[in-house]
Amino acid sequence: MAEAGNSAADRQPRPDSRPNPNEKLVKVFGSEQEPEALVVKGLLDSAGIDSDLTSASLVQDAFPGLGGMILLVREEDAEEARRVIAEGRRSAPDDDSTAEIAIIEEPPPKA
């Protein structure tokens, strides 16, 4: 269990949550799948870490050929964000399989 005051959720809220245009943002996650990026953003939000979900197509000038979605956080939150993401991956199921239901191909016997 994390010690009080060590997680982003325990920090004091920032007085102004509007983005500062001079603030350095760093990429902590990228995915080709928007739903996956939304889940990770939810993890960060739950941990009290502000993040910005951006389409990678918006950064095509800097990274041609890059697609999907990226998550950006404040530089001072990057280490904690990466820890939260790694912890979320450890607690996720090992595979994408779903519960299997046996399907009976034969009709039930007539009474």
For 45-99, the pLDDT digits (tens) are 999 999 999 887 655 556 555 568 899 999 999 999 999 999 988 886 655 555 5
Of 84, 96, 75, give the one whose Cα is nearest residue 19.
Answer: 75
Look up residue 91 and give its two tokens.
């607690």
Q: pLDDT at residue 27 above 80?
A: yes
Spell out a b/e string for 25-50, using b for 16 or more CB atoms within 10 Å of the CB, else e.
beebbbbeeeeebeebbebbeebebb
What backbone phi and psi angles, to 5 degrees, belong to 26?
-125, 150
Q: What pLDDT, on the 0 to 100 scale, is given for residue 73?
A: 95
Residue 12 pLDDT level (bands cut at 50, 70, 90): very low
Domains, the chain, with CATH or none? 24-90 (3.30.70.1530)
Q: What is the mean pLDDT of the chain?
A: 75
pTM exceeds cut of 0.75 = no
